Amino acid sequence: MTPQIVDSHTHLDFPDFDEERDAIVARAVEAGVTRMVTICTRLKNEPRVRAIAETYAPVFYAAGTHPMSAAEEPMATVEELVALAQHPKFVGIGETGLDYHYTAESAAVQQESLRIHIEAARQTGLPLIIHARAADEDMARILSEEHRAGAYSCVMHCFSSSAELAQAALDLGFYLSASGIAAFPRSKELREIFAAAPVDRILVETDAPYLAPPPHRGRRNEPAYTAHTARAIAPLWEMEFPDFARQTSENFDRLFTKAASATITDQGQAT
């Protein structure tokens, strides 16, 4: 049997998939991907992302304002995010976070947006989905400050930051998610960071259509390729791929409890 695995972060609403979304989801299921979380990065697009989750039984969704868009979009409110979370297939808050690589000029707005998303995660009990790039010090500080103010759960999506930020996140009980970057030949230091983390705090993702792992690097990524990343990094914990796939699926269930407990109808609805 094909080992079952979860793609914890993808973007099925992106135009890269418009011409063959049915086939993309079908290939993922054939490759053993039992569930996919498709991420809305601008709240104005939430109805479109929600419709995709409603169409496909294995697809769940999350929504938030991406930090690179924080200065361009209306500021999200806690109430707005909490209301969206009432949908049975809405399973996470974000992605949100800090990105100073391209958008450092909006750092203050990003930080305000991040704190709003954290409060929504706290109120809903859903995991926060964090994007972090070139902002390690501020990210660790804000996550820690907010956690002291009230606990919440979190995954550091597509983690490719420093060992210090990884440890700060792990110390708070958070999870690290590995994308195709972790499978790149030159990502030795990143793999060492993952290897130092407990395997029961690891998720895998594609971040499709970006960051395709070998042997598809440089081409459009898709959820079916989740297994390529998982196969590449399973040896970090001296695990065979089927065992690692099972472990990361269990980790997903522990963090994304709403997705784990959902009963899906043939029409893709969650109850």
CA angle 241, 245, 250 (to 5 degrees): 150
Of 127, 130, 92, the residue nearest 111 (C-alpha): 130
Beta strand 33-40 with 59-63: parallel, antiparallel or unpaired? Answer: parallel
Based on DSSP, count helices (H) and strands (E) in the chain, helices before strands: 11, 8
Residue 11 marked as a ligand binder: yes
Of 169, 79, 181, 73, the residue nearest 130 (C-alpha): 169
Of 38, 48, 46, the residue nearest 74 (C-alpha): 46
> CA-CA-CA-CA torsion for 243, 245, 251, 255, nearest 10 degrees?
-170
Tokens for 179? 């994308």
**Contact status, residue 223 vs residue 212, Cβ threshold 8 Å:** no
Q: Which string of DSSP letters, residue by residue, matches 122-177? A: HHH-PPEEEEEES-HHHHHHHHHHHHHHS---EEETT--S-HHHHHHHHHTT-EEE
Residue 157 marked as a ligand binder: yes
Residue 131 marked as a ligand binder: yes
**Contact status, residue 175 vs residue 203, Cβ threshold 8 Å:** yes
Binding-site members for a divalent metal cation are: 9, 11, 95, 131, 157, 207
Binding-site members are: 9, 11, 95, 131, 157, 207
